[in-house]
Amino acid sequence: MIRPADREKRLGLITAYYGAPEALLGEYAAGNARQRMRTFTQSAEDEISRAVEELRRIPCRGELCSPADDSAIIIHGPRGCAMAGGDSGTKLTEKDSIMGSEKKLRAEIHRVYNASRPKRIFVVTTPVVAINNDDVLTVCAELTGSLGIDILPVVTTGFKNKSPENGIDYARRALGLDAAAEIREPEASAREGLLAGRRVYIALPPGRAAAYIRAVSSGSGGNIAGVTLGYADKTEATEEVLRLLAGLGLPVHVANNQDYELTNLLKSAVPDLFVGETDNVLTAARLGIACVNVSVTPPEAFADAAETALGYSGFARRLAEAPGMPARYSLRALLRPGGWYIKPEAKL
C-alpha cells in the first residue's frame, strides 16, 4: 500500500500561527509557508484517532454502499492505543512487541469476524507497530482471501506528522478514495437578522470555518469576533477564510486543541456565541459563552441551534460560575497575547 504524501509536504500544512492573514496568504502564494513551533503546547488529537473518526464518517457521506455498522475497526497496538476509539484492539504487550504481533492480529481479526460478521474490517496501526515494522499488510491480504471479506489496513504511525489531518488521508486511501480531493462542506443554515449585533467566534477546520463565516456574517447579520483554524494549508478553503478575515481586519489563529491559547483569545474577544467542535466547545462553555457544537449539530440546523443557545445564554453563565467549574489559568497567564508561545521554527 502506498501512503499518500503527508499534508505538510503536499499542501504546506501548518498547525501554529497567529497574526495577519495577509502575511500567511503571501507565504502560500510564494510557496514558502513557514512551519511554526510552540514553546508551550498542550496535547491534541493524533492521526490515529482522526483516521478512526473518518472511517466512521465516510459511510455517512454516502461514499460507501453499506452503513457504518457493517464495519469493524481494530486498533493494532498496545492497550492505551485503543483509546483512539476503535471497536476492539490487539492490546499488545512488551513480549508481543519483541516476538512479533502478527499472530495476535490474526487471532483478533478472527475473533471480531466470528463475533459480529462485519462486511469489512479496518486494521488501524499504531506507533509500536510502525517502529517494529510488523507485516500487517500480509496478514490483512491473507485473511481477506480466507474470510471472504475486505480486511483493510489503515497505516498510521501516530508520531511522524504535526497534524492529525493526515489520518483522514490514510483512511480514505485505505478505501480506495482520493486522499488528495478537497472535501467541500455543506452550507450552514442562516436566518436574516438572527445574529444582528451579536459577536460570534468560530473555531473550526478551514472548510467548515468558511461555511459558518458566511452563514454568520452574510446570512444572519452577525459580527465575526475571531477565528481559530484547526490547521491552515494551500487549499481554496483556507484561502477563502484568510481573505474573509483580511477584509474584516481580523488576525487568524491556527491551533489544534490548544486550550490555553483559545481561552486567552476568547477572553479578549468577548463573543456572544461560540461555534466549534466537541473538543473546544467546553473551553468556551467554561467562560460562560453560549455555544453551538457542530460535531452534533448538522449544518442545516445551525440557525435553530444558534437561536436556542442565545436564548438560554444565562445557562452558560451559570455553568461557568458553578463550584465545580474552576478557572483553569491564572489572570497573569491570560494577560499574555494569544500568540505568545508561537515562534518561527529554527532552521539548522
Note whether 44 and 164 are within 8 A (CB): yes
CA distance 334 to 155: 40
Where are any strands of DSSP class E within 130-245?
150-154, 199-204, 223-229
Sign of CA dihedral 207, 208, 213, 214: positive
Q: d(Cα 187, Cα 208) in Å, to the nearest integer?
A: 9
Please count the CA atoms within 13 angstroms of the CA of 302 that sit on its side-chain side: 29
| pLDDT in 10s for each residue of the chain, 348 residues | 555 578 888 888 999 999 999 999 999 999 888 888 888 888 777 888 888 888 887 654 444 444 455 889 999 988 888 777 888 889 988 888 888 788 999 999 999 999 989 989 999 998 888 888 888 999 999 999 999 999 999 988 876 777 788 888 888 888 877 766 666 677 888 889 999 999 999 999 998 999 999 999 888 899 999 999 999 999 999 999 999 999 999 999 999 889 999 999 999 999 999 999 988 998 999 889 999 999 899 999 999 999 999 998 787 778 777 776 666 777 777 778 878 899 887 655
Question: Where would I find the H helices in the chain?
Answer: 7-10, 21-30, 47-57, 94-99, 102-116, 127-132, 136-147, 166-174, 206-213, 236-248, 259-269, 278-286, 302-311, 313-321, 331-334
Entry pTM: 0.83
Separation of CA 299 from chain center: 17
Is residue 133 classed exposed, middle or buried when 0-12, 13-18 and 19+ CB atoms within 10 A define those classes? exposed
Domains and CATH numbers, the chain: 11-33+184-344 (3.40.50.1980), 47-158 (3.40.50.1980)
Nearest to 129 by CA among 100, 103, 108: 100
